Structure 1
Amino acid sequence: MTKTIDVALIGGGIMSATLGALLHRLEPTWTIEVFERLPHLGMESSGPWNNAGTGHAALCELNYMPEGPDGSMSAAKAVDINEQFQLSRQLWSSFVEDGTLPDPKGFISPTPHMTLVWGDDNVDYLRRRWELLKDEPLFAGIEYSEDAEVIRSWTPALIPGRKKSQRIAATRSTDGTDVDFGALTRMLFASLVKQGAAGVHTNTSVTGLKRLDDGTWRVKLRHEVGQNRGEVNARFVFVGGGGGALKLLQQSRIPEAKGFAGFPITGAFLRTDNPEVVARHNAKVYGKASVGAPPMSVPHLDTRVVDGEASLLFGPYAGFSPKYLKTGTYLDMFETIKPHNLYPMIRAGLANLDLVGYLAGEVFATREQRMEALREFMPNAKDEDWRLITAGQRVQVMKKDPEKGGILQFGTEVVTGADGTIAGLLGASPGASTAVHVMLTIFERCFPERLPQWRDTITQLIPSYGTKLNADAEAARESLARTARTLRLVEGASAELEPSAATAATV
């Protein structure tokens, strides 16, 4: 007889880990099983070298405040992204306080978030952006300067070698973070396994999903070592397998997945571990995207902390591969083309020919061209210090649109079945940074009848749940300060950890 479980989590990344950790708190008797195709958890998009590790809070990312044709701007999207990241900070802090997460230094580091632009028009834009944000409570303390010496004091590597005649401007927020989502994923799953709350099955692919007459889902499995097959029935299925989610959602045959398609974009970064170079730059510095470039390809020069060691990354350099996963196959994209999504794909493609041209230029870019892009940020960068690494695949969502026929959407799309027994994620950035917000959205759609009884526990873990921090300056200030102390984002914070967390940190 096939075993029936309460929750099947497909994909061993940060999304599944976050959902599993939350569901265990809310329903500790539920049985949870995790199925990951690769030998280890958090190896695909969550892996530390497959992303830039930015804790996306819109402190430095210009694509969350685009300029309209008339020059107008709104802070609404930036504030919304920041609100979502605060939910993640609060949950992580609660997990540190109760010992679920060990020493937070293992997955999060304080890293200033900066924006750097050059040229009169861009400087004017950045100044106006700063003026809109500086009085928003969640952006309190954001700094602006056009003075090269001030910018040098923020991070020295940006100024030497730059022409004095070049007009530049920068903003800086010291509330920024660098996050190792791979380490965080493994910590959350390790806690679940230690408590006997979840079974984790690596080297296990999900090959099919089928709705049964009793309302459960038949999850078909294949072990990658030996090719043995199996199956399990689940009352709720979460499809969080990154780029692999689209194919499985299509197999589920839920109407809500129709019309969706994916456009894969390859990422690459220049990386240096030279301690002399790394020591001269401590920030995540974002610039402005090239014309036609997707938001995920906004150039940025990042401090990256993995396993306690700092490196620098610059990029991402975009490219194209039909793979939906870094470890996928060249058939991935073609296998998801269906009659119901072909027209939206064509319409989205025709509307984004500038993106196609941009990707073509990126694919054939030489190393010298890539280094020149880096030198726009770090003028004195030396070729011998940097090497090119391949990052993770990002699958941008294409979907039906009643007016345009099809659109290319940059962001994270939550797809849920009408009866609330299945949910999945499509898309890319801001992705991992807003994992908690995504899970709360899934709760609202899939478990509305349980939310009233869950609300108190959720609020204990995430104090701002159901409210807007940015609407209350004092609440925003207190939340930022508390989470900074608990996550050890400020000096001397370790002594202020709750006893259980301090004990966990020494294990």
Structure 2
Amino acid sequence: MNKDKIEKEYDLICVGGGIMSATLALMAKILKPDLKVLIVERLDDVAQESSAAWNNAGTGHSALCELNYCPEKDGEISIKKAIKICQQFETSKQFWSYLVEQGLLDNPNSFIAAVPHHSWVLGQENADYLEKRFNTMKHHFMFETIDFTRDSSKMKQWFPLIMENRQEDEVMAASRIDRGTEVNYGVLTKTLFNILETKYDTPVYCNMEVKDIDPSPDIDWTVEVKNLKTKEKYNLESKHVFIGAGGGSLLLLQKVEIEEKEGYGGFPVSGEWLVCKNPDLIKQHNAKVYSKAGLGDPPMSTPHLDTRYINGKRELLFGPFAGFSPKFLKEGSNFDLFKSVKFDNISPLLGAFWHNLPLTKYLIEQVTSSHEDRMDALRKFMKDAKSHDWEILVAGQRVQIIKKDEFEGGVLQFGTEVVSSKDGSITCLLGASPGASTATSVMLEVLEQAFPELLHSEKGKAIMNKMIPFWNTEVTESLFNEQLVKSEKCLKL
């Protein structure tokens, strides 16, 4: 592959060097190897923003421990969203397993590891909720291996750090599913791009910023790209464009002449972690432990104490804590928020602000918190946590999407959303969590809109059925369990 001279015409240009573009491009090339695909990234390497290990939660979000996916209403627990999220993550595992089977991915343990997932709560009301959740989930085949306890001695076996020096009469409860995972999406993303470059002759250009995307009379879209090192500009032509630039997607979408973009706005939230510096503490904890968000706090604030594997080293993180920056990307501009305000999204922005005053209050409290305030939050998990054992690390930027709503003017969208032109020739991914964990399912949605002919040809169907057995079929208990065993074997879990 000659990267000295950039070619002009493509079938698909992916904007952004993250897990979403990597997944979409690789799936498309597997379906049609002669598809001409280009990836452009504005930074000097891929996986530097939301996909980077320190910039995201790293949990294989599979609804095994995240309580916000199981809301309670009128005494009943709904696990509908948990089932969807679990299925989406297992779909991602199937794609990665296929890559292993095809000899494209030879060391899955470089990015995925088995780490049990726990939910843990304090207080009688929360403990009763967790037991109700357990009783609901254990009857569904996706969660039938869930374990539950109110016994402190059992919890001490599960997560000893949290149970040290606790009062015997303290009311608490916990659940556990052993098959949980820890995923380094930064390593995974780089691995997928390496497969694209070495096996599928797909160029990945860094230091290339997309300045504009305009309709083209000749092909579909003209993508104006600037080389940030040489300052050279290119007008590239493509039949399809995917905008997967993390927080930067919204600003680029607003330049595209499609009516579907109308009314979208965004509010940036930066993340921070407390990172443990004490190797002895890190060795004592091999678990992901999620609790409940505080009353009135947003889902993004769910506190968790996590084992992580980053740069080949085991780490221990607690958080997340929210910060504020007007930037839409960690390496973005301080004018990003201002530039995103348009005539068509002023009403949704004001509506979302007015109906989310508790979120505003939460963010103000977070921004003004000291290191000791954060340590006090950690001490709810670890009674005797020492300030000198922990340091603060700034994580990635997230842009919470705001969209039009006929009743409230605008609403916050906690999740991922695909915005597409009517003909599917341009698609854009907006939003954050659960993000990376659901990349395969979300990119399948993009393929359905952009390349339905690839998915639904006889050859495409045969490949898809092998690559992602959950695709285009009902997920039954026998299919789920069969594929769970297979993926755990392929991924060495």
TM-score band by shorter chain is: over 0.9
Contact 2:38 2:204 in 1 (8 A): yes
Which residue is 1:411 aligned to? 415
Which residue is 2:87 aligned to? 83
Q: Is 1:342 aligned with 2:339?
A: no
Contiguous gaps of at least 5 residues in structure 1: 490-507
Equivalents in 2 of 1:474, 1:155: separation in Å?
Answer: 32
Contact 1:2 1:231 in 2 (8 A): no
Equivalent residue in structure 2 for 1:29, among 21, 25, 34: 34
Equivalents in 1 of 2:113, 2:453: separation in Å?
Answer: 38
CA shift digits 1:414-464 (9 cap, x unpaired) = 111111111110000000000000011112222234432122211110112
Contact 2:31 2:454 in 1 (8 A): no
Equivalents in 2 of 1:233, 1:305: separation in Å?
Answer: 40
Q: How do residues 253-332 of structure 1 correspond to structure 2 at under 5 angstroms?
A: 253-332=257-336
Q: Match of 1:4, as an amino acid?
A: E
Q: Match of 2:39, as an amino acid?
A: V
Equivalents in 1 of 2:148, 2:286: separation in Å?
Answer: 17
Equivalent residue in structure 1 for 2:440, among 436, 452, 461: 436
Which residue is 1:401 aligned to? 405
CA shift digits 1:71-117 (9 cap, x unpaired) = 32211110011011111000001101112122001000101110110
Contact 1:2 1:233 in 2 (8 A): no
Structure 1 residues 456 and 273, CA, compared in 2 at 3 Å: closer, same or farther? farther
Which residue is 2:462 aligned to? 456
Structure 1 residues 92 and 229, CA, compared in 2 at 3 Å: closer, same or farther? same
Which residue is 2:134 aligned to? 130
Q: How do residues 95-174 of structure 1 correspond to structure 2 at under 5 angstroms?
A: 95-174=99-178
Equivalents in 1 of 2:231, 2:391: separation in Å?
Answer: 37
Q: Secondary structure at the match of 1:235?
A: strand
Equivalents in 1 of 2:426, 2:201: separation in Å?
Answer: 20
Q: Is 1:55 aligned with 2:50?
A: no
Q: CA deviation at 1:215?
A: 4.2
List 4+ stretches of structure 1 deviating above 6 A. Answer: none
Which residue is 1:499 aligned to? none
Q: CA deviation at 1:367?
A: 1.1
CA shift digits 1:213-253 (9 cap, x unpaired) = 23421111111213222221111100000001011111112
Contact 1:24 1:197 in 2 (8 A): no
Q: Match of 1:152, as an amino acid?
A: K
Which residue is 1:480 aligned to? 484
CA shift digits 1:307-357 (9 cap, x unpaired) = 321000100001211110011011111111111111011001100000000
Equivalents in 1 of 2:57, 2:269: separation in Å?
Answer: 15
Percent identity between matched residues is: 44
Q: Is 1:71 aligned with 2:75?
A: yes
Equivalent residue in structure 2 for 1:192, among 182, 187, 196: 196
Q: Secondary structure at the match of 1:325?
A: coil
Q: Is 1:468 aligned with 2:474?
A: yes
Equivalents in 1 of 2:117, 2:144: separation in Å?
Answer: 13
Equivalents in 2 of 1:187, 1:404: separation in Å?
Answer: 43
Equivalent residue in structure 1 for 2:451, among 438, 441, 447: 447
Equivalents in 1 of 2:164, 2:327: separation in Å?
Answer: 40
Structure 1 residues 133 and 42, CA, compared in 2 at 3 Å: closer, same or farther? same
Which residue is 2:3 aligned to? none
Equivalent residue in structure 2 for 1:8, among 7, 13, 22: 13
Q: CA deviation at 1:196?
A: 4.2
Q: Secondary structure at the match of 2:479?
A: helix
Q: Is 1:382 aligned with 2:386?
A: yes
Contact 1:59 1:113 in 2 (8 A): yes
Q: Is 1:38 aligned with 2:43?
A: yes
Q: CA deviation at 1:264?
A: 0.8
Contact 1:322 1:332 in 2 (8 A): yes
Contact 1:269 1:388 in 2 (8 A): yes
Contact 1:100 1:188 in 2 (8 A): no
Q: Match of 2:66, as an amino acid?
A: E
Which residue is 1:494 aligned to? none
Equivalents in 1 of 2:298, 2:376: separation in Å?
Answer: 20
Q: How do residues 358-377 of structure 1 correspond to structure 2 at under 5 angstroms?
A: 358-377=362-381
Bigger Cα displacement from structure 2, 261-270 vs 443-452: 443-452
Contact 1:152 1:159 in 2 (8 A): yes
Q: Is 1:20 aligned with 2:25?
A: yes
Equivalents in 2 of 1:101, 1:180: separation in Å?
Answer: 15
Equivalents in 2 of 1:2, 1:284: separation in Å?
Answer: 46
Q: Match of 2:240, as an amino acid?
A: F
Q: Secondary structure at the match of 1:139?
A: coil
Contiguous gaps of at least 5 residues in structure 2: 1-5
Contact 2:24 2:447 in 1 (8 A): no
Q: Secondary structure at the match of 2:60?
A: coil
Equivalents in 2 of 1:200, 1:317: separation in Å?
Answer: 33
RMSD over equivalenced CA pairs, Å = 1.3
Equivalents in 1 of 2:474, 2:85: separation in Å?
Answer: 12
Q: Match of 1:457, as an amino acid?
A: I
Q: Match of 2:465, as an amino acid?
A: T
Question: How many residues end up aligned between the 2 structures?
Answer: 486
Equivalent residue in structure 1 for 2:218, among 214, 217, 236: 214
Equivalents in 2 of 1:395, 1:176: separation in Å?
Answer: 27
Q: Match of 2:50, as an amino acid?
A: S
Q: Match of 2:280, as an amino acid?
A: E
Which residue is 1:503 aligned to? none
Q: CA deviation at 1:125?
A: 0.6
Q: Secondary structure at the match of 1:138?
A: coil
Which residue is 1:180 aligned to? 184
Equivalents in 2 of 1:463, 1:245: separation in Å?
Answer: 31
Equivalents in 1 of 2:211, 2:420: separation in Å?
Answer: 20
Q: Secondary structure at the match of 2:412?
A: strand
Equivalents in 2 of 1:281, 1:367: separation in Å?
Answer: 22
